[in-house]
Structure 1
Amino acid sequence: MNSHTLHTLLEFAFFYPLAMSLIWMSGGLIYFFRWERREPSRVKPPALPSYPLVSLIVPCHNESEHVRETLLQLAKQTYPCFEIIAVNDGSTDDTGEKLDQLMKEIPELRVLHLATNRGKATGLRAAALAAKGDFLVCVDGDALLDTYATHWLVMHMLESPRVGAVTGNPRIRNRSTLLGRLQVGEFSSIIGLIKRAQRVYGRIFTVSGVISAFRKAALHDVGYWNTDMVTEDIDVSWRLQMRHWEIRYEPNALCWILMPETLRGLWRQRLRWAQGGSETLLRYGPKLFRWRQRRMWMVALEYVVSLAWSFDMAVIVLLWLLGFVFQLPPSLHVPTFVPQWNGVVLGMICMLQFLISLMIDRRYEAGIGRNYYWMIWYPLVYWMLTTATSIVALPKAILKRKGTLAIWTSPDRGI
C-alpha cells in the first residue's frame, strides 16, 4: 500500500457518507413537497372508493408480555372491514393461552398454533394461506398500530394494481436511555428519510418488517416469504420488485415499536439486519445483471458501496491502532481520528440531515425535536456499529447453507 492508496481510502471514508447524506436529503425533500406536504396527518384519512376485507397478521413467539396490548390496539382500527390472524409460533411461555383467551374478547381474531418454532417467515406464510382478505397487513407481536394505519396502507393498493407492498412508518416507544433516544432520530433521519428518497428514485431496499402491507396476489406471484432467509422482509422486497411489483412508503401509517436499549441487544439486531442484506445480495445479485432488472441496480450498488465503506473504515481504524504499536512507514500512517476540517463538514451535513428529517417528522410525532441534541452522538455509536456488523455479517452470509430454517429468538425490547 502506497501513500496514494491510503489517501484514496481516507477520501472514500469522507466522501461516501457526505454524498449519501446529500442524496437522502434531496430525495426526502422531493418526496415531502411532491406527496406529503398537502396530505393531512394524524387526522381522518380520505375516503376510499371501496373497503375490501383486510387480514391483519401478527406472528408471535414468546410475546406473553406484549401480545395482549398489541391485539387490543389492533382491534381498534377505524378501517371498517378486517380480520385478525395471530400465529403462535411454538412459544415456550403462555403466549398461546393468552391468544386463546383474547379470542373471547376480540370477535375478529383467529389464532393459529404451530407446534414448534419454525421462524417468522413460516408464521407469515401460514397466516397468509389462511387469510380471507386480498390485502395483508403484517405487524410484530410487540407493536402498537395507529388506528388509521390500515386505511392509509390500503389506499395505495386501491390506487394502482401494480402496488405489491406498502411499508409503514415505525416509531420508537422506548427512549429511556441514550441508545433509545438515538434510535428515535435514526428511524426519522436515517430510515424514514431513506425510504422517502428511495420511493422518489424508484426502488425501496426493504419494507419494514414490523409494519407492512402486501397484496396477496403479489405474494403468491413470488412464492410468499422464504423460510431460510434471516431477514424475510428484505428478501421479499427484492423478489417483489424483481418481478416488477411496486413498493411504496406511507409515513401516515404509524406503528409504535420497542427497540433494544443495550449494546448486546443492539449488536444482535444490527448483525441480523446486516447478515440479511448480505444474504439477499448474494442470492439475487447475479440475476440483477439482466437489463430487465435495471431499476434495481442503484439499490444493489448502494448496498455494495456501503459494504465497501465498512471495510474501508475497518482498514483505516486498524492502521491507526497499529500506529501505536509499530513504527509504520509514512505511506501507512494514519495520524489522528480527531475530527479535522473534513470531519467538521461531515458532522455539519449529518446534523443538517437530522434537522430536515425531524422537521418533516414533527407532523407525526409532537415534540420529536427534543431528541435533536442527542443525535450528535449518532456517528460515533452507529457508524462504528454498522462497520463492525457489516464485516462480521458478510462471511456469515457466505457460509450459511441454503435451505437452513431461519428461526427466531426473543429480541431485546429495551427498558
Structure 2
Amino acid sequence: MIFLYFLCGLYFLGMLFILIYSLAQGHLLFHFLKAQRSWGKIAKKIPKDWPSVTVQLPVYNELYVVERLIEAVAKLNYPRELLEIQLLDDSTDQTVDLIREKLKNYPEINFQYIHRRDRTGFKAGALREGLKVASGEFIAIFDADFVPSPDFLLQTIPYFSSEKVGMVQTRWTHLNRDFSLLTKLQAFALDAHFFIEQVGRNHQGAFINFNGTGGIWRKSCILDAGNWHDDTLTEDLDLSYRAQRKGWKFVYRPEIESPAELPPIMSAIKSQQFRWTKGGAECAVKHAGAVSQENLSFRIKLHSFAHLFNSTIFIAVLLTSLSSIGVWWAGELGLVPDFLVKLSGIFLIGFVVIAGVYLVSYFYGKKSFVQSALGVIWQLPLFLSVSMGLALHNAQAVWEGLSGRKSPFIRTPKFNLESGKEKLSDNRYLLHRMPVTTWFEGVLALVFWAMVGLAFREHNYLFLPFHVMLAFGYSLVFITSFKSYGLGR
C-alpha cells in the first residue's frame, strides 16, 4: 500500500515537472510569435572596412565529410587578405593525409593546418589551441558535417554593429532530412529548437546558446569569458553562459541557414544525444548557482534555469512512465479515489502545449498547408513516441551529468550517405558495442505492450494513449539500436 502511494506521488511530481517545463516552452512560443513583428529590426551595419576573420574547422577522423567541408569553406565570399581558415585536426587515421592532399588544390587560400597528436580537451582543446595563433578579429566555427553558404560571413558580420555583440548564431538546416524516418524525426525536433526556442529566448533578452557550429564569435568575447573550457561535454553551452553572464549580447538569425548532416542511424543519434544531454546537465551544475546570484530579471533567471535543466525532462518522463503502471493498478484496485485520477488529467495540458510548440515550428515557412498537415499527422505522435523511447538512455546521461560522473567526449559518426558514394555498412566509424541500456529498452517495450493488453482486457483505458506511445517508442528505439550496432560486422 505504501509503495503504491509512493508511485502515485512520483507520478504526480513527474507530471507537474512536465507541466512546468511545457509552460516555459509555451512562453517561448509566445515570444516567437511576437518576434515576427520585429523580425528585421535587429541592428546591423555593413562595415566600411571588413574585419579579419578566422574560420575554425575542428576535425577528428572524418574521412567521409572532410573533403566536402574544405570545398565549401574554400568558396566563402570574403576578401582573401582578411580570411584565415584553420584545419584543427586531431585525427589518428588517413584523414590526416586526405586533408593535406586536398589543401594542395587551394594554394591561393590561407589554409592553416594544425595537427595535434595529443587530443587533450577534445574539441574545446582544439579550438583553444587554434585560438592562440588565430589572426582574425572574428572566429567562425563549423563542424565537419557542415556545408556553410558562400555568403555566410557577409551575412553575419554586419550583426556585430554593436561592440557589445559577442556572438551571432545561425539556424541549422538539414542536408539529409528526407534520407530516412530517423532523419525526418530529428529534423522535426531540431526545427523547434532553432525556430521557437532560440528566437523566443533571444527576442526577450534571455540567454541563448552557441550551438557549437554554424556561428561566429568576436574573438575578444571568447577571451574575456575565459576561453574554451573542457570540463563539460558541451563546451559551446558553457562558454555561452560565461560570456552572457559577463554582459555580452548574442544575436540569433534564423534566416541565415547553415546546412548540416543528421545522424542516419540510432547508434549515432544516441551518441549525440548522450553528449548533448549529459553536457547540458554538467553546465546546469556549473552555472545554475551563479546565474541565481546575478543581477538579472526574474524572467531571464527563470528561462536560464529552464534552459540549463531542460534535459532533466527525460528523468521526469522515465519516472512518470514507470510510476504510471502503479497508478493504473491502484486505480484498478480502487485504492485511489476516482476524482484524484480524473484530476490528474489537468497535467495533460503540458503535452498539449509541447505539441503546439512543435506544430508551429513544423508549419512555419511551409508553402502547402494540406501537404504539411498530412505530414504532421504521423510525424508528431511518432516523434513524441521516440522521444519517450529515448528517455532511459538520456536519463542515464542526465544523471551522470548532475552527479558529476565524467566520461570522454565521444564523437558522432558522420556518413555523407546522400552523396551516393558511400555505403552505410562500410563506414569504419560505426559503433558496435551495444550498451546494456538497449536491452532494458527492449524489456520496457514488452512491459508497456503488456500494459496495453491489460487495458483492453480490464476495460481500463486511463493510460492507454500514453502506454501505446511508450510501447511503440521503446520498440522502435530498441529495434533500430539493435540493427545499427550490428552494422558492418
Deviation sequence 1:106-149 (CA, Å, 0-9, x none)? 22211101013331111111122221110000000121001222
Question: In terms of Rg, which structure is larger?
Answer: 2
Checking the alignment, whether the CA contact within 8 Å between 2:185 and 2:383 is kept in structure 1 is yes
- Alignment match of 2:384 (pick from 376, 379, 388): 379
Distance 1:128-1:304 versus aligned 2 partners, 3 A rule: closer
Larger helix percent: 2
Deviation sequence 1:192-249 (CA, Å, 0-9, x none)? 3100001012133421112121110011112211022211111111111111111111
Checking the alignment, whether the CA contact within 8 Å between 1:60 and 1:141 is kept in structure 2 is yes
Q: How does 1:143-154 map to 2 (within 5 A)?
A: 143-154=146-157
Q: How does 1:252-291 map to 2 (within 5 A)?
A: 252-291=255-294
* Structure 1: tracts of 5 or more residues without a match: 40-44
Checking the alignment, whether the CA contact within 8 Å between 1:227 and 1:406 is kept in structure 2 is no
Aligned partner of 1:214 in structure 2 is 217
Distance 1:332-1:166 versus aligned 2 partners, 3 A rule: farther
Report the Cα distance in structure 2 between the residues aligned to 1:64 and 1:71, rounded to whole angstroms. Answer: 12
Figure out how many residues of one structure are paired with residues of the other and give that number.
399
Q: CA deviation at 1:368?
A: 8.2
Task: Identify which range, 388-397 or 253-262, moves more after superposition.
Answer: 388-397
- The answer on 1:29 being equivalent to 2:30 is no
Aligned partner of 1:98 in structure 2 is 98
Deviation sequence 1:8-61 (CA, Å, 0-9, x none)? 43752663354234222211122222124x89xxxxx98443311111110000
Aligned partner of 1:319 in structure 2 is 323
Question: TM-score normalised to the size of structure 2?
Answer: 0.72
RMSD of Structure 2 on Structure 1 (CA): 3.5
Q: How does 1:381-400 map to 2 (within 5 A)?
A: 381-385=386-390, 387-400=391-404
Amino acid at match of 2:103: M
Aligned partner of 1:42 in structure 2 is none
Task: Identify which range, 166-175 or 308-317, moves more after superposition.
Answer: 308-317
Report the Cα distance in structure 1 between the residues aligned to 2:307 and 2:337, rounded to whole angstroms. Answer: 27
Checking the alignment, whether the CA contact within 8 Å between 1:162 and 1:246 is kept in structure 2 is yes
Q: Tell me the SS of whatever aligns to 2:231.
A: coil
- Alignment match of 1:173 (pick from 155, 172, 175): 175
Aligned partner of 1:247 in structure 2 is 250
Aligned partner of 2:73 in structure 1 is 74
Report the Cα distance in structure 2 between the residues aligned to 1:285 and 1:320, rounded to whole angstroms. Answer: 31
Checking the alignment, whether the CA contact within 8 Å between 1:258 and 1:414 is kept in structure 2 is yes
* Structure showing greater relative contact order (alpha-carbon pairs closer than 8 Å, 6 or more residues apart): 1
Amino acid at match of 2:113: V
Deviation sequence 1:140-197 (CA, Å, 0-9, x none)? 012100122222221222x111111111111121232111001222222233310000
Q: Tell me the SS of whatever aligns to 2:397.
A: helix
Aligned partner of 2:473 in structure 1 is none
Report the Cα distance in structure 1 between the residues aligned to 2:145 and 2:7, rounded to whole angstroms. Answer: 51
Report the Cα distance in structure 1 between the residues aligned to 2:25 and 2:239, rounded to whole angstroms. Answer: 26
- The answer on 1:233 being equivalent to 2:236 is yes
Q: Tell me the SS of whatever aligns to 1:330.
A: coil
Distance 1:347-1:187 versus aligned 2 partners, 3 A rule: same
Q: CA deviation at 1:350?
A: 4.6
Amino acid at match of 2:284: L
Q: Tell me the SS of whatever aligns to 1:267.
A: helix
Task: Identify which range, 316-325 or 253-262, moves more after superposition.
Answer: 316-325
Distance 1:370-1:251 versus aligned 2 partners, 3 A rule: farther
- The answer on 1:55 being equivalent to 2:58 is no
Distance 1:248-1:368 versus aligned 2 partners, 3 A rule: farther
Report the Cα distance in structure 1 between the residues aligned to 2:295 and 2:119, rounded to whole angstroms. Answer: 38
Checking the alignment, whether the CA contact within 8 Å between 1:227 and 1:405 is kept in structure 2 is no
Report the Cα distance in structure 2 between the residues aligned to 1:289 and 1:342, rounded to whole angstroms. Answer: 28
Checking the alignment, whether the CA contact within 8 Å between 1:319 and 1:332 is kept in structure 2 is no
Report the Cα distance in structure 2 between the residues aligned to 1:375 and 1:24, rounded to whole angstroms. Answer: 19
Report the Cα distance in structure 2 between the residues aligned to 1:153 and 1:248, rounded to whole angstroms. Answer: 10
Amino acid at match of 2:193: I
Amino acid at match of 2:324: W
- Alignment match of 1:330 (pick from 323, 335, 349): 335
Distance 1:135-1:406 versus aligned 2 partners, 3 A rule: farther
Checking the alignment, whether the CA contact within 8 Å between 1:179 and 1:261 is kept in structure 2 is yes
Aligned partner of 2:457 in structure 1 is none
Report the Cα distance in structure 1 between the residues aligned to 2:375 and 2:133, rounded to whole angstroms. Answer: 42
Distance 1:370-1:47 versus aligned 2 partners, 3 A rule: farther
Checking the alignment, whether the CA contact within 8 Å between 1:167 and 1:213 is kept in structure 2 is yes
Distance 1:248-1:329 versus aligned 2 partners, 3 A rule: farther
Q: CA deviation at 1:84?
A: 0.9
Deviation sequence 1:93-113 (CA, Å, 0-9, x none)? 222112222322222211101
Amino acid at match of 2:380: M
Aligned partner of 1:84 in structure 2 is 85
- The answer on 1:353 being equivalent to 2:357 is yes
Question: TM-score normalised to the size of structure 1?
Answer: 0.83
Checking the alignment, whether the CA contact within 8 Å between 1:174 and 1:259 is kept in structure 2 is yes
Q: Tell me the SS of whatever aligns to 1:169.
A: strand
Q: CA deviation at 1:286?
A: 2.2
